[in-house]
Amino acid sequence: MRIGVLTSGGDCPGLNAVIRSVVHRAVVDHSDEVIGFHDGWKGLLEADYRKLDLDAVSGILARGGTILGSSRVQPAHLRDGVERARGHVQDLGLDAIIPIGGEGTLKAARLLSDAGLPIVGVPKTIDNDITATDVTFGFDTAVGVATDALDRLKTTAESHQRVLIVEVMGRHTGWIALHSGMAAGAHAILVPERPFDVAELARVVGERFEAGKKFAIVVVSEGAKPRPGTMDFTSGATDVYGHERFSGVANQLSVELEERLGKEARPVILGHVQRGGTPTAYDRVLATRFGWHAVEAVHGGRFGMMTALRGTDIVLVPLAEAVEELKTVPANRYIEAECVL
């Protein structure tokens, strides 16, 4: 068989582990040929690719980013490009395409699959917001980076009697904020699923200082918003891909908390550091298992499906199911964390 692989959307630790696993399983065990498209769907639309043999994937298991490059693509551009993509699949003699990506990539995968292209998807995102899989690789690494940062920030916050408002990634869902906040013992966690009341946040932080504590750490997802009417808030504009450009909720909250509490408050925006660097062992293993099962799915003719973790098993689920809705943080998780406002 001849298999094309690509990585699309925001990068994430573990992408290279999937690419390596696909090549190992396909080339070594099935004597397949694998090509990698450059920079996501763009590579497929422009037939920009290179051959991936064992040498090409040597030494990449622990490397962050993606050796193939990634990019975002506008949905309309892809819709217009379906026939071009079909033509390239035929010209290149491809039997299957394995796109590795998040929500946007999987929606695009479904579009091409519905158009009859042989697709098996692999989910990735540090945000962990894909419903069909218990976990996505990249999430564990991002939570580890954020937790390490929070641990470090606690010591400097305490030295200076400050409130530190730490903004983590999480466009639509608060998984990174919840897990890193819980792991580091944050004093308040704000998530996109639950609009916050800044007066309540000020009360929680204020009571902590009144109780004699010298500092407070607030973790906020980049996509968190105040309850309407509770705070002046500037939302970001929308980019060409339809994504909100965040205007810095931590910046706005630090100004507001300083005014309300008379305590020094500083914003810390962790940003892309959460997406970079070497994947954790957990993410390498999950990514490797996804790659292995994606190749098996291709050989089983299970097109239109995506690999997913359910319990301890890797299963295949329809791409349609994967993109139905986002996996948001359920309310019982707020209660367990105790400090989600």
Nearer to ligand F6P, 170 or 181 (CB): 170
- Please select the residue that binds ligand F6P; options are 81, 123, 144, 170, rule is CB under 6 A: 170
Work out the burial of residue 51: count CB atoms within 10 Å of its CB; fewer than 13 is exposed, 13-18 middle, 19 or more buried. exposed
Q: What is d(CA 26, CA 28) in angstroms, rounded to the nearest whole number?
A: 6
The reply to whether 125 sits in an annotated binding site is yes
The partner residues of 164 in beta bridges, in order of sequence, read 217, 266
Q: Residue 227 half-sphere exposure, CB side, CA atoms within 13 Å?
A: 9
The reply to whether 102 sits in an annotated binding site is yes
Residue 102 engages ligand F6P in binding (rule: CB under 6 A): yes
Those residues whose C-beta lies under 8 Å from the C-beta of residue 103, and which sit 6 or more positions away, are: 9, 125, 129, 130, 323, 326
Residue 42 engages ligand F6P in binding (rule: CB under 6 A): no
Alpha helices in 28-138 (DSSP H): 30, 41-45, 75-80, 82-91, 103-114
Residue 140 engages ligand F6P in binding (rule: CB under 6 A): no
Q: Which of 58, 13, 57, 15 is nearest to 35 (CA)?
A: 57
Q: Which amino acid is at 163?
A: V
**Residues 202, 188: contact at Cβ < 8 Å?**
no
CA 267 to chain centre: 22
The least distance separating ligand F6P from the CB of residue 266, rounded to whole angstroms, comes to: 22
The reply to whether 2 sits in an annotated binding site is no
Residue 219 engages ligand F6P in binding (rule: CB under 6 A): no
In degrees and rounded to multiples of 5, residue 169 shows phi and psi of -70, 165
**Residues 172, 310: contact at Cβ < 8 Å?**
no
Q: How many residues bind ligand F6P (CB under 6 A)?
A: 10
Q: From the candidates 11, 127, 129, 283, which is the catalytic residue?
A: 127
91 carries an active-site annotation:
no
Query: What is the x/- site pattern for ligand F6P, positions 239-278, by CB under 6 A?
Result: ------------------------------------x---
Residue 127 engages ligand F6P in binding (rule: CB under 6 A): yes
Q: Could you give the 3-state DSSP secondary structure of residue 28?
A: helix
Q: Is the dihedral of CA 267, 207, 187, 227 positive or negative?
A: negative
The reply to whether 170 sits in an annotated binding site is yes
The least distance separating ligand F6P from the CB of residue 269, rounded to whole angstroms, comes to: 11
Residue 169 engages ligand F6P in binding (rule: CB under 6 A): yes
Query: What is the x/- site pattern for ligand F6P, positions 281-320, by CB under 6 A?
Result: ----------------------------------------
Nearer to ligand F6P, 257 or 322 (CB): 322
Q: Which two tokens stand for residue 189?
A: 């966690």
Nearer to ligand F6P, 127 or 193 (CB): 127
Nearer to ligand F6P, 169 or 337 (CB): 169
- Please select the residue that binds ligand F6P; options are 125, 133, 136, 288, rule is CB under 6 A: 125
Q: Which residues of the chain form contacts with ligand F6P (CB under 6 A)?
A: 10, 102, 125-127, 169-171, 222, 275
Specify binding-site residues.
10, 72-73, 102-105, 125-127, 162, 169-171, 222, 266, 272-275
Specify binding-site residues for substrate.
125-127, 162, 169-171, 222, 266, 272-275
Specify binding-site residues for Mg(2+).
103
